Structure 1
Amino acid sequence: MTNFQHTKDTHMALAQYHRWYQAYEVEMNDARIANQLDILDPEVEITSGHLGTTKGTDGIGERLLQFKGWRNAHHVQRANVERLNDTTLKLQADIHYQNIRPDESRYSYAITYTTELALQQDGLPKFTVVNIQPTGELGEFEFQDAYADNRGRSFMHYWLYLMETASTHQEAFKELLAPSFKLNLSTSAPVTTWEAFQAWLTTTASSVKDSAHTVKNFSAEQAADGTITVSVDFDWEGLTQAGEKMIAETHHEWVLENNLDERFARMKKMNVTQTVPFQVVK
């Protein structure tokens, strides 16, 4: 049986984790620095290789400005989330980091992140501990931008967390929907208004006791107009209100509007196809 709480914990933590990199992968400004501070506990402890340990968020904005003009890409290879106790999540991840500096010097490392996040009464968890340890040089590389991937993944994981807690978090979707949107869902007519979306959420949430989404085949690309296109498959599991197990598999194509100064991108278009229909299984 799926651990439904673990799936929710994973989506919460990864929504924040993929946000961590975004401030470094686009040009810095005050709004983007503010978004970086938003994911951190005020007393966060950050340890970074030979740079040592800092505590608290004072001065982080100024330190981020030293990266102006750098081209950075953070390619996540593996991420694992576990719940340490009722108030804390632990996230460990390995990445391949690519960096080109203004003088055209080039660096690439394998890096391991070991982090803890404090659960909040309302909203996403915040990092309390971030330990960043380079584990080896990767040598020559062809720079591959990672911003669209990290931006798309952070949006996706927050969207899925909200879907899996829709009975209590409907209002939070307003941050993730574009002013004008069209959702071609596999279980209803196209949804184009907040009222229709809210009605669909209410119906969906009332029909299941719990649910979980496993992500497969994710890809994201940034278009010339700044939108991000996402293609992804989900293995879905759920429990009916009577406790019966349900399954489905769906394929999603999304277009995300992307104001770089906002916490998240926003859903503009969604097309969903059921590749395995929603069904009760024994």
Structure 2
Amino acid sequence: MAASIVQAEVTDLEIENSYHEKAALTQLLRWFQFYENADIGIANQLDILDENFSVTSPSGTATGHAEYQAAVAQFPSTWRNAHDLQTMTVTVNDDGTLSLTAEIIYSNLGMTDSLVAQRMGYDATLEYEDGDTLPKFTSMTITPVGASELEAFDDTYIQNRLSALVTYWIHLVEHPGRNPEPFKEILAPELDIKFSAEGNTITSYDGIAAWVAGPVSSLPVTRHVIGPISYTTLEPGRYEVEVGFDWQGIRPDGKRMTAKTEHRWIVTDEPNERFARVEMIRVETIEPFAVVE
């Protein structure tokens, strides 16, 4: 079972902007995956980048898709890369763009004769395009901020892949548009989803659409604090995921609600797709939904 979550007091605006934070985190986790798994094609990477995207890193500067694609093609395919996210903050700017600041521990096998490990800082901007559920990166600066003491290389692809799925799912739940359509690409062909012991089992997209139109849309604003995400490999490409959520919602009358749940998911992964897919969900209520008086 995932560890409990300590949730600090937040403002109504932070709750309202939570889906933007999840969107930015989703895209950052997808950025990492391209460098961690050779089966993630360049098309998936370009999907998260604005056409005029510019990146500056210790390797140099590239602007636009063509320059970026040429730059990353120079990296040896034998390198192994890992990205362990440590901190991240997201600011929603007045013009609707997002500013992201993050720090990671980057590790590499192949760059030198021994393990390379460094703390790296990321400063990036993202912008929504018309009709897109997720924003695209418009700029990124990657800066070394110090050495990191690692004794061994730890492959982070699966962790980041599953974390991106969980974060994107929550983004869709929190998004004020409450559109069920984007869920289609993250659902397995056969579903076995129950959000409560007493609830019905969802076995199709239509069930998810009804869930979005019903319970998900019952409150106009919600926020989920995502706890530690752990996983067990069931077989290659299939994983059991455990994660806890601290949930907050704002009712139409302005009163807040809270709850705490633990989720167990079965997830399948085809690296050439944009996201892994949810096959099964079971939910345990740790603290029931309640109004904050």
Q: CA deviation at 1:159?
A: 0.5
* 1:254 has 2:265 as partner: yes
Instruction: Please identify, of 98-107 and 17-26, the stretch whose mean Cα deviation from structure 2 is larger.
Output: 98-107
Q: CA deviation at 1:102?
A: 7.9
Q: Determine the C-alpha separation between the residues in 2 that align with 1:153 and 1:128.
A: 23
Residue identity opposite 1:171 in structure 2: E
Provide closer, same or farther for how the CA distance between residues 10 and 140 of structure 1 changes in structure 2, counting only shifts above 3 A. closer
Q: CA deviation at 1:54?
A: 1.7
* 1:241 has 2:240 as partner: no
Question: Taking structure 2 as the reference length, what is the TM-score of the superposition?
Answer: 0.89
Q: CA deviation at 1:127?
A: 0.6
Q: CA deviation at 1:104?
A: 4.9
Match of 2:51 among 42, 49, 52: 42
* 1:14 has 2:25 as partner: yes
Kept in 1, the 8 Å contact 2:115–2:152? The answer is no
Kept in 2, the 8 Å contact 1:184–1:190? The answer is yes
Residue identity opposite 1:7 in structure 2: S
Question: Taking structure 1 as the reference length, what is the TM-score of the superposition?
Answer: 0.92
Provide closer, same or farther for how the CA distance between residues 222 and 148 of structure 1 changes in structure 2, counting only shifts above 3 A. farther
Task: Look up the SS of the partner of 2:235 in the other structure.
Answer: coil
Task: Look up the SS of the partner of 1:217 in the other structure.
Answer: coil
Q: CA deviation at 1:106?
A: 2.4
Q: Determine the C-alpha separation between the residues in 2 that align with 1:152 and 1:231.
A: 10
What is the aligned length?
Answer: 279
Q: For structure 2, which runs of at least 5 residues remain unmatched after alignment?
A: 1-10
Percent identity over the alignment? 34
Q: For structure 1, which runs of at least 5 residues remain unmatched after alignment?
A: none
Partner of residue 101, structure 2: 92
Task: Look up the SS of the partner of 1:230 in the other structure.
Answer: strand
Task: Look up the SS of the partner of 2:161 in the other structure.
Answer: helix
* 1:182 has 2:163 as partner: no
- Taking only aligned residues, the RMSD between alpha carbons, in angstroms, comes to 1.9
Kept in 1, the 8 Å contact 2:224–2:248? The answer is yes
Q: CA deviation at 1:60?
A: 2.6
Partner of residue 117, structure 1: 126
* 1:170 has 2:173 as partner: no
Partner of residue 6, structure 2: none
Where in structure 2 are the equivalents of 1:128-277 lying within 5 Å? 128-165=138-175, 167-186=177-196, 188-277=199-288
Q: Determine the C-alpha separation between the residues in 2 that align with 1:198 and 1:21.
A: 31
Q: CA deviation at 1:15?
A: 0.6
Q: CA deviation at 1:134?
A: 0.9
